[in-house]
Amino acid sequence: MLHFNSSNRLRHLALAAGAVGVLGAATPALADTVLEGETIRILGIGDPVFQVMQKIHGELEEMAGGTVQLDVRPFDVLRQQVLLNAQNDLSNYDLIAVDLPQFGEYMSFLTDLNPLIEANGYDGSDFHDVAWTGAQFDGAQLGVPLQPHPEIMAYRSDIFEKYGLDAPQTHADVLAAGATIQANEPGMSGVCWNAARGTALGQTFIMNMGDFGAAPIDMEKIGDDFNMGNIQPENMRPTIDTEAGAGTAAYLEALMDVSPPGILNMAWDERVRVFAQGGCAMTYIWSGRSAIYELDESAPARGNVGYVPHPSADGSPNRSTLGGWYLSIPTNIDPDRVDLAWKVIEWLTSADMIAEYTKHGNCVSPRKSVSQDAEVAARCPSIPAVDQMSADGFIAGWQRPPVPEIQKIVDALGTEMHQVLSGDKSSADALAEAHRLVDREMQKAGYY
Amino acid sequence: MSQKSEARWTATVLVSPAVLVLVLLNIFPIAFAVYISLRHWSLASPNPPRFAGDFNFAELLVDDRFFNSLWVSGTFVTLGVVIQLLLGFALAFVFNSKLRGLDTLRRLSLLPIMTMPLVVGLVWFYMLNENFGVINWFVTLFGSERLPFLTERTLAMLSIVLADVWQWTPFVTLVIFAALQSLPEYVFEAGRMDGLTEREIFFRITLPMLRPAIIVVLIIRAIDAFRMIELIFMMTKGGPGGATEVLPWYIYTTGFLSLDLGYAAAMAVTMIILVTLAAQVFVRQIADPGKN
């Protein structure tokens, strides 16, 4: 069963409250020995977990007993900084934030953490398997999960109940429920999603292509999933202009009919805010962003939201795309600072700290122990829902393959598909052109 | 040392700091951009940069997106600058009249120029937003459907132009107003004594005398509008389709999102050449007004 209603789960979790340790309330005990007066330099992203760190910066430094130099950048600037920093003889940062699909691009200048993990007896088994193994390439552990979260579907359980609708499991369910609600609920549209031109729509395309059990490049298939850990040059051929690509384009075109006004300019937090205020009955959402309404007492959506994995195309398995952030150590770090960097990773990714972040607006927990904490679950109902999806194997990362050209793929699709949704181009032409552009990039890169 | 060579030496010393700054801040970056444009240079690629000859420029010639962005830039510059000139001109004449209360209004009208372009983009994005926007709220008050200001091709372009016009019309007003204030009164008196009507005075005296100021403001605004990126970044990201994808936005996404520095530099160099050529036409008008 793929249905996780927040109110039902809350009741169960409240009963279990006494059985589970209240991790979130504890102040990290080991923290005051972490920095011992030293300075740690972190290059982070303007996503919830780092925004929380900025918010509680004073407390963080007090906990760690030293200076936390936190350089928080927007996504694109962060990528430039990481790539430029990699060219330095000595890294300007001890820790850098890495998005899951970026490991392919960065792997040559990220430290293998396995020796540190072994030397310090670090236990990674508390992390969701898919999150922990997502940073493994050729046997090397390149990062530790800090804020990995999947893109899932959030829906208004109260509205669905009102119209006798089941939680949406497939594309057809989404379209049917969206049409019913849009026709009967004044001021409420069916689905909010990322349709803005560029990265937003490009990512939407490849994640929805994943709903057809297909990846944007020709990766090796393993069961219902793909081999992400060993992508070879022959796997780099685009698979955009295919049946799955056409199906994805058709679904996105159909979604337009059950979307709110201004959908062609909607992206990221805006879709969640419109959903939070009752503008949509469903939204595709990075689970961590559920804090926008779950922690806002005035939001009509608060407490009335159910969560399901990314609805699939009929007949395909449900797979939600895993994304989000890891902490990694660059290879050009001053060798004398490696131990300090590792100690900070241990501290910032500890169960205590993950629970602490949820108090301040980061509804993500890659750790099972924190996900089962009743207080955390009550605060962020999406966390136990994602925990369950992870346990059921509904989360995967192959939809956005970790290859250096991933941004080119996203950009080509985000540009071409926007012309389709704007009515300027046929989907067949757009798919062919996006396929051609990606193919040219791969040839330019010398893969074939 | 003769007096002449001493004067030359002094002039060289006095000018050299400015020349040095010019070389460091203008000439070197342009030369370096040309250098990058002749190479395959991608930050995202594990391969080191290598010589590409004219490859990047040849790619431009078959790139529909590049030509679309040029067309969009041209449309935006033409629409924006023409409207700003007409409005700015009219406002300058209003402010130049002796009506009471205009001093305060004139000072207030300068406020948009002082606002950061990114903030202007953000404010207009929210005002025109189809879900939250105040303008659409007014539209629905009158029983009309919400208008797709940022997601329909023509409206999106007009919305960007509107935001640009809002911010920069006061600048045009300011320059024309200053020029109007500096016109000698006796010329107009002579015109009236010669029996010219007000209409003839405007077209035969005022307008020709304002010509240098108009051309200067035209050059400044056209160049500025051609390199505008902030409004696109905040309001449309170049959409819908490619309807508002101006050339600087395409360069930005190529260089800083796809990290293809070679191709982005080739576009930037082409853009510099185009802007310089266009500016030269106007600069000649100022340098040699006698020809017209």
Q: What is the pLDDT of residues A179-236, one digit of tens each?
A: 999 999 999 999 999 999 999 999 999 999 999 999 999 999 999 999 987 889 999 9
**Residue-level pLDDT at A373:** 93
Beta bridge partners of A362: none
Residue closest to A230 by CA, chosen among A219, A240, A238, A215: A219
Mean pLDDT of A331-337: 97
Query: Which residues are registered as beta bridge partners of A71?
Result: A43
Least confident of A121-125, A262-266, B1-5, B33-37: B1-5
Q: Is A243 exposed, middle or buried (0-12, 13-18, 19+ CB in 10 A)?
A: exposed
Is residue B94 assigned to a domain?
yes
What is the per-residue pLDDT for B101? 79
Interchain CB distance below 8 Å, B256 and A80: yes
What pLDDT is recorded for position A404? 84
**pLDDT at residue B103, as a whole number:** 83
Are A405 and B150 a contacting pair at CB < 8 A? no
Q: Is the dihedral of CA B160, B162, B165, B167 positive or negative?
A: negative
Indicate if the pLDDT at residue B287 is higher than 80: no
- At residue A28, does pLDDT exceed 80? no
**Residues in CB range of B263: below 8 A, 6 or more apart:** B56, B59, B254, B255
pLDDT at B265 over 50: yes
CA B214 to chain centre: 14
Kindly report whether the peptide bond that precedes residue B240 is cis, defined as omega within 30 degrees of 0. yes
In this structure, the answer to whether residues A338 and A370 fall within a common structural domain is: yes
- Please, are residues A166 and A1 in contact by the beta-carbon 8 Å criterion? no
**Under a CB-based contact definition with an 8 Å cutoff, are residues A329 and A113 in contact?**
yes
B interface mutation test: which of A99, A265, A422 has the most B CBs within 10 A? A265
Mean residue pLDDT across chain B: 91
Report the residue of chain A nearest B236, measured CA to CA: A265
Which pLDDT does position B289 carry in this prediction? Answer: 57
Residues of chain A in contact with residue B65, where contact means CB-CB under 8 angstroms, are: 415
pLDDT one-digit tens code per residue, A385-436 = 999 999 999 999 999 998 888 888 999 999 999 999 999 999 999 999 999 9
For residue B241, the chain A residues in CB contact (below 8 A) are 197, 418-419, 422, 424-425
Under DSSP, is residue A56 helix (H, G, I), strand (E, B) or coil? Answer: coil
| Mean of the per-residue pLDDT values of chain A | 90
Q: Are A287 and A307 in contact (CB under 8 A)?
A: yes
Tokens 């530099």 -> residue: B265
Residue B210 lies in a domain: yes
**Residue A186: which CATH number?**
3.40.190.10
Angle between helices A243-255 and A427-444 (to 10 degrees): 130
CB contact under 8 A, B257 and A415: no
Whether residue A193 is found in the same domain as residue A298: yes
Q: Is residue B51 part of a domain?
A: no
What mean pLDDT comes out for the span A9-35? 47
Would you say A327 and A41 are in contact if contact means Cβ atoms under 8 Å apart?
no
Q: Does the distance separating the beta carbons of A261 and B148 come in below 8 Å?
A: yes
Q: How many residues does chain B have?
A: 292
Domain housing B247: 62-291
Task: Kindly state the helix (H) or strand (E) to which residue B21 belongs, with its residue range.
Answer: helix B3-22
Q: How many CB atoms lie within 10 A of CB A147?
A: 29
User: A235 and A291: one domain?
Assistant: yes
β-bridge partners, B177: none
Q: Nearest Cα to B207, choosing from B193, B189, B225, B188? A: B188
**Amino acid at residue number B35:** Y
Residues A154 and A284 in one domain: yes
A91 with A221, same domain: the answer is: no
**How many distinct structural domains can be found in chain B?**
1
A205 within 8 A of A413, measured Cβ to Cβ: yes
Residue A328 has a CB neighbour count (10 Å cut-off) of 28
Nearest Cα to Cα of residue A24 among A396, A378, A401:
A378
Query: Among the listed ranges A80-94, A219-233, B37-51, B184-198, which one has the minimum average pLDDT value?
Result: B37-51
- What is the distance between the alpha carbons of residues B273 and B185, in angstroms, rounded to a whole number? 42
Q: What is the mean pLDDT of residues B179-200?
A: 92
Domain containing B78 — which CATH number? 1.10.3720.10
Please check whether residue B79 lies inside any domain of the structure.
yes
Structural domain span for residue A278: 150-321+401-444
pLDDT tens for A111-154 read 999 999 999 999 999 999 989 998 998 889 999 999 999 999 99
pLDDT level of residue A30 (50, 70, 90 thresholds): low
CA distance B153 to chain A (A): 8
Q: Does residue A191 lie within any of the structural domains?
A: yes
Does residue A224 form part of some domain?
yes
Quick check: is A12 in a domain?
no
Tell me the backbone φ, ψ of residue A214, rounded to 5 degrees.
-125, 145
Q: List all residues 6 or more positions away from B3 whose beta carbon is below 8 Å from its beta carbon.
A: none
Residues A239 and A388 in one domain: no
Overall domain count for chain A: 2
Instruction: Give the pLDDT score at B4.
Output: 84
Nearest to A261 among B131, B153, B243 (CB): B131
How much is the average pLDDT of A356-368?
92
Helix then strand then coil, in percent of chain B rounded to 5, is: 75, 0, 20
Q: The tokens of B170 are what?
A: 């006061």
Residue A77 covered by a domain:
yes
Inter-CA distances, B41 with A434, A445, B248, Å: 22, 11, 19
pLDDT, greater one: A159 or A405: A159
Tokens of B91: 């406002």
Which residues are CB-contacts of B238 (< 8 A; sequence separation ≥ 6)? A197, A198, B232, B244, B245, B246, B249, B250, B253
Residue A7 lies in a domain: no
Residue B117 lies in a domain: yes
CA distance B60 to chain A (A): 14
How is A396-447 classified by DSSP, letter by letter? Answer: ESTTS---TTHHHHHHHHHHHHHHHHTTSS-HHHHHHHHHHHHHHHHHHTT-
Mutation pick from B64, B257, B258 vs chain A, by most beta carbons of A within 10 Å, is: B257
Which of A83, A262, A444 minimises the CB distance to B130? A262
A99 DSSP β-pair partners: A325
CA dihedral A435, A439, A442, A448 (to 10 degrees): 140
Predicted pLDDT of residue B251: 96
Shortest Cα–Cα distance, B98 to chain A (Å): 46
Cα separation, A97 vs A50, whole angstroms: 9
Q: How near does any CA of chain B get to the CA of A48, in Å?
A: 21
The pLDDT assigned to A294 comes to: 92
> Kindly report the CA angle at A132 between A215 and A305, in degrees rounded to 5?
75
Are A199 and A414 in contact by the 8 Å Cβ rule? The answer is yes
Backbone angles phi, psi at B50, to 5 degrees: -140, 160
In a domain, A15, yes or no: no
Which residue, among A335, A90, A200, has the nearest Cα to B238 in the 3D structure?
Answer: A200
Contact residues, chain B, for A76 at CB < 8 Å? 256-257
Angle between helices A57-64 and A48-55 (to 10 degrees): 80
Q: How far apart are the first and last CA of chain A?
A: 43
CB neighbours (10 Å) of residue B67? 13
Residues A241 and A218 reside in one and the same domain:
yes
Query: Within this chain, do residues A172 and A259 fall inside the same structural domain, yes or no?
Result: yes
pLDDT at residue A6 in the model:
46
Q: Which of A374, A395, A416 is the last residue of a domain?
A: A395
Contacts of B222 (CB under 8 A, 6+ apart): B77, B81, B278, B279, B282
pLDDT-derived band at A41, boundaries 50, 70, 90 = very high
Tokens, residue A222: 């393993």
Residue B156 has pLDDT above 90, yes or no: yes
| Nearest-angstrom CA–CA distance, A23 and A249 | 44
* Residue B33 within a domain: no
Q: Are residues A248 and A184 in the same domain?
A: yes
Q: What phi and psi, each to the nearest 5 degrees, are found at residue B288? A: -135, 65
- Residue A230 lies inside a defined structural domain of this protein: yes
CA A43 vs. chain centroid, Å, equals 18
Indicate whether A1 belongs to any domain.
no
pTM (predicted TM-score): 0.86
Band of pLDDT at residue A337, cut at 50, 70 and 90 = very high
Interface test with A, best of B55, B63, B131, B159 (most A CBs within 10 A): B131
Pair A30, A139 in one domain: yes
In chain B, count of helices (H) and strands (E)? 15, 2
> How far does A270 lie from chain B, in Å, by closest CA?
10
Rounded Cα distance between A200 and B83, Å, is 33
Q: Which residues pair with A307 in a beta bridge?
A: A4, A154
What pLDDT, on the 0 to 100 scale, is given for residue B259? 86
Q: Do both A169 and A228 map to the same domain? A: yes
Shortest CB distance from A196 goes to which of B44, B131, B239?
B239
> Per the domain annotation, does B235 fall within a domain?
yes
Each residue's pLDDT tens digit, B88-132: 999 999 998 878 878 888 888 889 999 999 999 999 999 999 888
Is residue B72 one of the residues assigned to a domain? yes
Contact partners, residue B112, CB within 8 Å, separation at least 6: B120, B166, B167, B168, B169, B170
Which residues have CB under 8 Å from B34's CB, separation 6+? B265, B269
* Residue A24 confidence (pLDDT) above 50: no
Helices (H), A219-305: 243-255, 269-276, 291-294
User: What integer is the mean pLDDT of B244-262?
Assistant: 92
Which pairing describes strands A280-286 and A189-192: parallel, antiparallel, or unpaired? parallel
Which positions in chain B have a beta carbon within 8 angstroms of at least one beta carbon in chain A? 40, 43-47, 65, 129-131, 136, 146, 148, 150-151, 153, 236-243, 253, 256-259
Same domain, A28 and A51: yes
Q: Which residues of A touch B (CB under 8 A)?
A: 76, 79-80, 83-84, 105, 108, 196-200, 260-265, 270, 274, 279, 404-405, 407-408, 411, 415, 418-419, 421-422, 424-425, 444-446
Q: Is the pLDDT of residue A71 over 70?
A: yes
Does residue A32 have a pLDDT over 60?
no
Composition of chain A by helix, strand, coil, percent to 5: 50, 15, 35
